[in-house]
Each structure stands twice: as C-alpha cells, then as structure tokens.
Structure 1
Amino acid sequence: MFTSYEEARKWLHSRLTFGVKPGLERMKIMMEKLGHPERTVRYIHVAGTNGKGSTIAFLKEILQEAGFKVGTFTSPYIETFNERVSMNGNPITDEEFIQLANKLKPIVEEVEKTDFGAPTEFEVITAMAFYYFGRINIPDIVLLETGLGGMYDSTNIISPLLSIITNIGHDHEEILGTTLKEIAAQKAGIIKNGVPVVSAVEQPEALQVIEEVSKQKKAKHYLLGREFSMKNDGCLSIQTPFKTYNELSISMKGPHQEKNAALAIMAADYLKVYYSFIIEEDDIQSGVKKAFWKGRFEELSTSPTIIIDGAHNPEGVKVLRETVQSYYPEKNIVVLFSVLQDKKVKEMIQELSSFAAKIIFTSFSFPRALRAKELFDKAEFQNKQYEENWQQALTKAISTLHDDELLLITGSLYFISDVRKYILESIIK
C-alpha cells in the first residue's frame, strides 16, 4: 500500500520503462477487473495532431457555464501531474491519486503475468482516470483526449456521445505512419458505429480517410467549412446547422484557436439538440471567452515580452509563426528552443528560421531530449547559439533582450512545463 504521494507517483513513473505499446488488450483486462467503470460515464472523445487540449478547454468552459460537472483527461501536464485528471478544471488531490494508485497496483501486477505483458504508464493513468470518473467522482460528462493516435490508443475502449478530430499532421511517425493517409487512419480509429464525428481536417488525402471511415461506420461527419462554418471579418461568428453565434470573443490567440472554438461550439450544439443538454447562447459566449490553455501562446511577461508555446511538430510551428507575426509584427523574435529526438526536428528548425531573428538551442532533463549542440548542428541558420543548461540559456536571453525584441520559448511541452514553472516562480515575482 502506498502511503505517500511521492511513493505512488514514483511507482507510476516506473511504468515508463515499458515504453509505448499500441493495443487495447491490457486496458480491457484492467477494466474488467475494475468492474468496467468506463461504462458508467458519458464521453466526448477528442483526437488530432494539434489543438486537442484547446478544443477541450473551450468545450469544458461552455459546459461549466451551463452548470454541468465536467471531467477532463488530458496530456501532458503543464503545472502538476495531477491536472491530467481534473474535475471542473481542478486536478485530483494527492490523496485521491494515492487512492487510485493503491486500487490499480494489484491489478497492474496481475495483468503483467498475462501474455499481453506489463501495462505502460499511459495505460495505468488512463485506467486511473476511468476509475476516478466512474466510481469516485462521477461527472455529467468527460472530455477524453487521446494520448497517441486513436485506433490503438488506451482511451479507445469507450462508446462516446460524440467524437472530435481536430486536425491531421505529421507527428509520432514511428508509430502512426509516415503519410497523412496513414496518420489519418489511426486518428479515425476513434470513430464508432453510429456515433457522429466533428472535424476540422483539411488536407484532401486525410479528409478522404475520415470520410470513408465515417461512411463505413454510418457516423454522421460534421466538417468545418461544410456542415458548420466560421468567419472573422473583424468580428468572429460561427454557424452550426442549428444556430448562428455572432460577436464571439475568445481570449486564446490565433486563427487556429478560432477553429478550435468552432469545433467546441459545434459539439455543444450537438449535445443540446440530440442529448437535451441545456446550453444557452450566453453559456457559449462566456465559455469561449473564458477558455484558457496553459502553455499555448501564453504571455508570461509584457516587460520584457515573454511568450511560451508548446509547438512540438512542424504544423504547430507553422501556426506559431502565423500567430506571432499577426500579434507582434513590430517585434524581432528571439527563440529559445528544445525538442525531443523523435520529432521532425529539421522541418521545425526550418520553420523557426523563417521568422526568428535569433535562435538559442538548449536542452532539458528528459530521456528523449536532444542535446543543444545536436540541434545547433542541424540548423542552417546564421544567428544561432546553444547552451545545454536551459536555466542559464533563459537567464542570459532575458538579460540581453532589447525593447524591440520578444522572447519566444517553444518546443516540447515537457520543456515548456519546466520553463513555465521556473519563470513564474523565480523570474516573475
């Protein structure tokens, strides 16, 4: 029995040694041994390459404004590990985490003895979330984010009210495939028989896969730009098949966040029309305005200007470029960058090079983090530097920042998590 939070978390993190194991067999065994807690709750299942967390943030706020009790399961974390499993935006307590770990440990040990092998860290935390929402603190609905892909993701053992696929891009290619068609097939794995899917997928080859799977599963596909739409001619409006919402105001910056808001509003309207969720227009207006997602184009300081953004793949960096150029056209951009080795690093650096005045490469303590010198050597960019110690790199970057410059810290979300905490606790007081 675990008696302390640190002991329980250490046990969970020890599961990282088992890596990533696509497949649902271990999850199904754990759910059976737990008495199928995943069957007692209603879900919206969210997959996609980028934008999952922001879409969930928009939808969570809308539903909370309407008075619903909303559970969320997201990853990775930014401030505390417990925030991955939250109720109405509040992470589970350390005591609840200990309770969940004690419940799962003997079951995990039983599954290890089967032919399917040892459950991974993500499988265990997913099982903990299902048990928490299904037995300990039951919400009106859970917004469930996939960890990797969709088809063989640990979360894909549920029957949701609705599925959302935010977009398709290149990420985790060693597992999901190297083409957009292959990656889309994995994301489309969350589409269930007769369960509608809402998406903002744009690329023709990826969209074709989503359409084919939806048709095969007899799942109505609501596509942004077809069944529902958005426009911003100085004022954001979003039109669903059921209603038009005008003069919307959102706090999260960037055209991509307007798309994520549109996905959330389409989902909320679907719940209202087909599942009798009482959601008023005021709930939607105030919900999308209140929505906030840590580490996504988050301005931590205005003097000097410091922004963090977890752009961890080429598509994310492209959107980041468009956003920073739109909101800070007068600033010279100094980039502090660190990323994991399984990413499309050269493509990310090329995109950063297209708008940065200077790039500082660094590293952080994580098993798959690339060394700063490796990143430096990959960059065909003149004004570049490297410093292995990210705290030293950050301190120097801030101390030498000019008034016409903006410090943009980006890359791995694990890196962003470390930096965000350090800046808020040690630099901005």
Structure 2
Amino acid sequence: MSMTNNDNNVQPLATYEEARQWIEGLVSFGIRPGMERIERLMELTGHPERRLKFIHIAGTNGKGSVCAYLTSVLLRCGYDVGTFTSPYITKFTNRFQYNGTDIPEETLLALANRLKPLVEEIADSELGSPSMFEVSTAIAILYYGTVSYPDFVVWETGLGGRMDVTNIVTPIVSVITNVGHDHMDILGDTIEAITTEKAGIIKPGVPVISAVAQPEAAAIIRDTAKAKKSSLYLLGKQFSETALKVSENEQSFRFDGLFRSIDELPITLNGAHQRTNAAVAVMTLEVMRQYYALILEDEDLREGLRSAAWPGRLEMVSQSPRILIDGAHNPEGAQSLALALTETYRYERLHLMVGMLTNKNHRDTLRHILPLVDTLVVTEPDFRKAMPSAELAELVQDLRESAGRSFELIVEPNWRQALERLQTLTEEADLAVVTGTLYLIADVRSQLLYNKDSEKGW
C-alpha cells in the first residue's frame, strides 16, 4: 500500500541516532544514476530548492577546499551560508552546515521524519527506494530551504556531475575544480569520459569557473559552456595565480583575473594545489561580484582566505611526533601530496601509513609517493570496501624496485596498531604521514585529536 503522512502505521524515528541509522541503512540501494527519485522528493516537499542561491562545485580533487574558501570568505563578508559537502570526516551532521555550524541533531531528526513516509511511498512505486545520498541531499535542501534560509548555499557534488543528484538545482554559478582519475568504475575510464560527466553541472546561461588543465578536458568544458551560452572563466586563460611566498602553514599568491588583479592573498592550507583552489574560489567570488552585486571588501577576502581550514588535507594533527594526514586517494591527490612533501615540509626521514579502498587506481597513486618514503606501513581502513593490506603490500613490492629507493615495508591490517607502529618509528626530526582513503583519515584524525571513534562515511 502507498504510505502518506497521514498513515498511522509509519513509526516516526525517535532519536538522532535512529535517524542517522535509517539514512545510512539506505546505502544498500547504492549509487543509481537518474534524477527521478530526487525530483519526486522535491515535488512532494514543494520544491524548496527553487528558493535558494547555489554555488555548485564539481571536480575530482579540491572540491572540499574550494567549498571551505568560499564559505569562509562569504561568512566574513556578513552573509549567511549553507555548506553541503561529502564525505564527512568526523560526524554525519558535518555534511549540513549553516554558518560553519553542523545541523542540530533535533533538526536532522525532524527533517528525517518529514522525509521518511515520502521515501517509503517512493520505495513502493516503480522508482524504487531513494538511496542514502538522495535522502541526504533532500535533507540538505529542506534544511536550507525551509529551516535556515541562507543567502548562499555552497553545494558540492557527490560524484560526477551530470547524473549526480545534487544536479537537481539550478545554481547562480558552477565550478569545476579539475578532472582526474577517480570513481572510474562509475564515471568512465578516460579523462574525456570523466570530464563529460563533470561538465553536466553546466546550466544554460550560468557562468562557469574551472581549473582543468588537460587540453582535452578544457576543450570539453569550453564546448559545453559555449553550447549552453555560459561564460567560462578558465585558469591560465581568464585568471591566474602567482606564488609569492611559500612556507609550512602559510603561503601567499597574487591573483590576476578578467576584472582586476589582487596582490598578496594569504592562505594557511599547504601545497601548490591549494593556491589553485584558492584562485578558483577568488574567481568565483569575482564573478558573483560582477553578476550578482556581491559585496566583497578586500580585507574580508584576505581574512576569509587566511582563516579557511579543511580537515584531513595536509593537516598536522600531532606535533610530537609530527603526524600529517592527507586524503590522497587518487593519482592526482598523491601527486599533490608528493609535491608538498618535497617543497613545503622539512624532515630527516619520512614514514608513511596508507590504507585504501578496493575500487581505486592504486598503482598510479603509489608511484608518486614511494620514491620519497623511508618506511611504508600498509594497513586497512575500517570500512566494508577496504582493500586487504596483504593485497596492497603485494602491489607495493611490485613497485618497490621501480621506485629507485629501498624502504622498509610493514604490513599491519589493524589500523590502530599500525598507527602505534608509526608513532613509535617517528623520531623528533622525522615526519609521519597518514594517507589514502578518507575513511582511514577520519578514524586516525578522531583517534589523535579526540581519542574517540568517528562516525565517518558518505
């Protein structure tokens, strides 16, 4: 039978914990392409997405950092900002932020109860059950469109772009950070195929900002923007950044854009890729200034960029021993990490701990990192899709000869014991790095910073 809000036999969820378990229990419905279920949820809730101004952000790497820069600057300018990101790193409520604060647990519970009968009604239809990500997206839209009413929503895609459920919205500006090798099992195995998916967020007449570097990717984005009559602002063409000062936890750059140049913008996030991410955020804000009369003072821009933080990306979570965590889970992320380890950090020996999921492009990821390490600790994330450490170690042994460096290989499936080994190994002048899937990063971060388990996940 079809269930509606009036049916007495739908049991409401009693606690936040129950609501979270109900949403995460929908994960078994997987990632199924198609917009029909989210469209139906929006229809049944009165289209709250139409009341909001979205900044839609897609890309392989750097999405979260661009979200962090934009949120930080817009808050500094005095705007109310919603920020929807994934995956979360400490707690499920991290994904739905309003003015930098997580959604209150009781609000999430109330919204889950509003959606649950509608989700069950759709599950009973030919559309099948909405997935976890679809329900999370609907909760975000209801939170921003019916509860908190921000001036802007910084809106990160979950996967791809074209068929991603976040594409239900028409934004005021679209951002495609970059394109690389990730989620190839779902998005296709060539840069062209992946770019075509990401370019799916480009909407008619909505300006696009991008830092894609590969000529074949840039061509697809340029053609899509042209076909949709959208103005394109491409890094290296309509805007650029020049490094001025680079040191650990502090760097600055000059921004040159189509509308103006801005000298000496500071950021505290590490790595050359973070200057690119910051430049993408600045160009986005410049477009919003031109098109939507955004009020943006230079001082607010500087302070907003400087105070932006993004957990789990080149984040120093311990000083004694020095432990750096970085979610470099694909080849491009590993390349950025390797560059930062060469340019930004100083150390005598480098000890690296890594854990991966089964569906990633590991050979190319490891290739960037292995030439730098003195010790490699291979472990397993505590997650259903974890790659067995023995399998990952086999791959490392395969690559060790070509890395041109002899390093010690330690295999420890239990991530907690692996972390203890890492801490013991790392002396005062050394640097320890934990990298790989964000599911491992989330656990290690919670353990080191809060000494408790994280709720990590999608």
Report 1:3-402 matches (<5 A). 3-234=14-245, 235-380=252-397, 381=400, 382-402=407-427
Could you tell me which amino acid in structure 2 is paired with residue 269 of structure 1? E
Greater CA drift, 227-236 or 290-299? 227-236
| 1:185-234 CA distance string (max 9 Å, x none) | 00000000011100000001111110110111111100011111111143
Deviation of 1:113 after TM superposition, in Å, equals 1.8
Aligned partners of 2:54 and 2:348: how far apart in 1? Answer: 43
Distance 1:426 1:87 in 2: 26
8 A Cα contact 2:327 2:435, kept in partner: yes
SS at match of 1:181: helix
Unaligned stretches of 5+ residues in structure 1: none
Q: How many residues align?
A: 427
Q: Which amino acid letter does the alignment assign opposite residue 30 of structure 1?
A: L
Cα distance in structure 2, aligned partners of 1:357 and 1:344: 23
Counterpart amino acid of residue 183 in structure 1? I
1:365 is displaced (CA, Å) by 1.8
Displacement of 1:139: 0.2
Q: Deviations over 1:267-324 (max 9, x none)?
A: 1111112101111111111111010100010001222110000111011001000011
What is the CA distance between 1:426 and its match in structure 2? 3.3
The answer to whether the 8 A contact 1:272-1:279 is kept is yes
Q: Which amino acid aligns with 1:352?
A: I
What is the CA-CA distance between 1:402 and the residue it aligns to?
1.9
Q: CA deviation at 1:403?
A: 2.5
Cα distance in 1 for partners of 2:164, 2:416 equals 35
2:274 is paired with a residue of what secondary structure? helix
Cα shift at 1:70: 0.5
* 3-state SS of paired residue (1:122): helix
User: Are the aligned partners of 2:351 and 2:425 in contact in 1 as well (CA < 8 Å)?
Assistant: no
The answer as to whether partners of 1:237 and 1:245 remain within 8 angstroms in 2 is: yes
Aligned-pair identity in percent equals 43
Alignment-derived partner of residue 406 in structure 1: 431
The farther-off stretch of 213-222 and 396-405 is: 396-405
**Where do 4+ consecutive residues of structure 1 move more than 4 Å?**
none
1:385 aligned counterpart, secondary structure: strand
Amino acid at match of 1:113: D
Q: How far did residue 25 of structure 1 move?
A: 0.8
Mean CA deviation greater in 322-331 or 288-297: 322-331
Backbone CA RMSD of aligned residues? 1.2
Q: Deviations over 1:320-351 (max 9, x none)?
A: 00011112244321111001100011222222
Q: What are the Cα deviations for residues 359-381 of structure 1, in whole angstroms up to 9, with x where unaligned?
A: 11101221101111111111132
1:67, distance to aligned residue in structure 2 (A): 0.1
Residue type of the alignment partner of 2:78? G
Name the CA distance, whole Å, in 1 between partners of 2:433 and 2:123: 44
For the Cα contact (< 8 Å) 2:381–2:437, is it kept in 1?
no
Q: 2:179 and 2:363 mapped to 1: Cα distance?
A: 20
Task: Identify which range, 115-124 or 63-72, moves more after superposition.
Answer: 115-124
**SS of 2:170's equivalent?**
coil
Q: Any conservation in 1 of the 2:382–2:439 contact (CA below 8 Å)?
A: no
Give the AA of the match of 1:199: S
Is the CA contact (8 Å cut-off) linking 1:295 and 1:417 kept in structure 2? yes
* Aligned counterpart in structure 2 of residue 417 of structure 1, from 434, 442, 452: 442
Structure 1 distance, partners of 2:244, 2:284, is 23
Shift of residue 404, structure 1, vs aligned partner = 3.0
TM-score (norm 1): 0.98
Which runs of no fewer than 5 residues in structure 2 stay unpaired?
Answer: 1-11, 246-251, 401-406, 453-458
* 1:155-181 alpha-carbon deviations (Å, 9 max, x no partner): 001111100000000000111000000
The AA in structure 2 aligned to 1:420 is: R
The alpha-carbon deviation at position 385 of structure 1 amounts to 1.2
Is this contact kept in 2: 1:350–1:379, CA < 8 A? no
Shift of 1:357: 1.4
C-alpha separation in 1, matches of 2:49 and 2:371: 46
Contact 2:244 2:264 in 1 (8 A): no
